[in-house]
């Protein structure tokens, strides 16, 4: 499974909350590493990334580990923020 069974709408809300809390940055990623999960918590949903799942890490954001779907939604939200400009 690529990530938690959370609807995209809820994941987007979680990403916005995590950005507001400065828990994840607003950035467009140019490098990402994928490997087997290490039972760490996802930076977006907070669920464990099991060893049977793929974990996505962003070298520029050393504290971050993501499920595939959480990573994708985070990047979509970041792109939207860059596109709409400062608020």
19-56: pLDDT as tens digits: 999 999 999 999 999 999 999 999 999 999 999 999 99
Residue pair 49/37 in contact by the 8 Å Cβ criterion? yes
How high does pLDDT run on average in the chain? 91
Q: Nearest 5°: CA angle at 69, between 50 and 42?
A: 45
Give percent of the chain above pLDDT 90: 78
Q: What is the pLDDT of residue 56?
A: 96
Q: What is the pLDDT of residue 3?
A: 73
Question: Per-domain residue ranges for the chain?
Answer: 8-84
Res. 1: pLDDT tops 60: no
74/84 Cα distance (integer angstroms): 15
């Amino acid at each position: 499974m690529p990530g938690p069974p959370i609807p995209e709408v809820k994941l987007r809300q979680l990403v916005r909350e995590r950005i507001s809390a400065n828990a994840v940055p607003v950035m467009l990623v140019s490098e990402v590493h994928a490997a087997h999960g290490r039972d760490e918590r996802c930076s977006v949903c907070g669920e464990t990334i099991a060893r049977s799942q793929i974990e996505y890490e962003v070298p520029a954001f050393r504290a971050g580990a993501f499920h595939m779907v959480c990573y994708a939604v985070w990047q979509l939200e970041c792109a939207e923020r860059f596109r709409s400009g400062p608020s």
